[in-house]
Amino acid sequence: MKVAVVGATGLVGSQMIKVLEERNFPVTEFIPVASAKSVGKELAFKGKNYKIVSMDDAIAMKPEVAIFSAGGSTSTEYAPKFAAAGITVIDNSSAWRMDPTKVLCVPEINAHELNETTKIIANPNCSTIQMVVALADLHKKYKIKRIVVSTYQSVTGTGVKAVTQMMNERKGIEGEMAYAHRIDLNVLPHIDVFTENGYTKEEMKMVKETVKIFGDENVKVTATAVRIPVIGGHSESVNVEFENEYDLNEAIEILKKTKGVIVKNDNSKFDYPMPKDAHNRDEVFVGRIRRDETQPKTLNLWVVADNLRKGAATNAVQIAEYLVEKGILKEGVLA
């Protein structure tokens, strides 16, 4: 089928192309879409070069699906235009995530909410995705009451400019700054803009998106989002309080059987998840699994995933795969 990648030249867009190739998604025609300055240039997909086209040209080419990673303002303007042409949009920005008429989808958890009428599908925030994948089956078993999460997020979450800043600092080169402060050999307790309640938008995304994905208003979340000088993936310290008592060994077994999760939890071998292990992987890694001894029914976890893969590109492609599997997306048919 015809597949468009909107924002194809960006960090996430390039990962989307890579994931589509690796997972052998059924692409008969690849349509790379980017800003005006990139139109006419070429991008490779499965050994063949394709010319980058504009938004309007992409709509005219009528792909069955368009995977967006071009920022919120672009998605707000163009996703409805693609949808109006019958094209299914899977959007990686924050533009549609909290829209009550849109599905905020992590396929392992709530793909069943998608159907033939779903034309704009929201991809959650990278930090939210890895946390809810790790916790979903535990929530089914023990019912989550409250989550306290601190994130340790890769500079790749900001984009090429941030990676360049860190590498420049590492080499002692002055250059353009993506952050308000130095990032190399430093930690910034600040991701996205601050809101009136003192939290950042990134932190509030985790709060609101978790509730929406689980479909449970009773789940309380408080978050602190931190940027660290790392490439490879995001890490999270997660403290989760359940409504019901749990058995630690049973909880570990549940995690081992959770779709999309790999448990690395052998302290005797210093075997725990790290960003370098998650890099270029699609799984969510969980370790340091232990009881919180300060209060009942509470568990500590360490959760790591590649933010450009499962946190963005892979999750989007998995949504498209589900739509194909269920016959919602069909080659040559605009629903």
Catalytic residue positions? Answer: 126, 234
Tell me how far apart the 2 most distant CA atoms of the chain are, in Å. 60
Residues 260, 261, 262: CA angle, nearest 5 degrees: 130
**Rounded distance, CA 284 to CA 136, Å?**
12
Segment holding 135, helix H or strand E: helix 126-142
Residues 123, 125, 126: CA angle, nearest 5 degrees: 105
**Rounded distance, CA 318 to CA 24, Å?**
12
Buried b / exposed e over 53-79, threshold 16 CB at 10 Å, is: bebeebbeeebbbbbbbbbeebbeebb
**Rounded distance, CA 235 to CA 275, Å?**
7
* Tokens matching residue 138: 């535990």
* Tokens matching residue 156: 């790749």
Q: Which residue has the tokens 């190739």?
A: 21
How many CB atoms neighbour CB 37 within 10 A?
9
E-assigned strands of the chain?
2-6, 29-33, 42-45, 48-51, 65-68, 88-91, 103-104, 120-122, 144-153, 220-227, 234-242, 261-263, 284-291, 298-305
* Tokens matching residue 12: 């996430």
Candidates 20, 3, 1, 109; CA nearest to 313 is 20
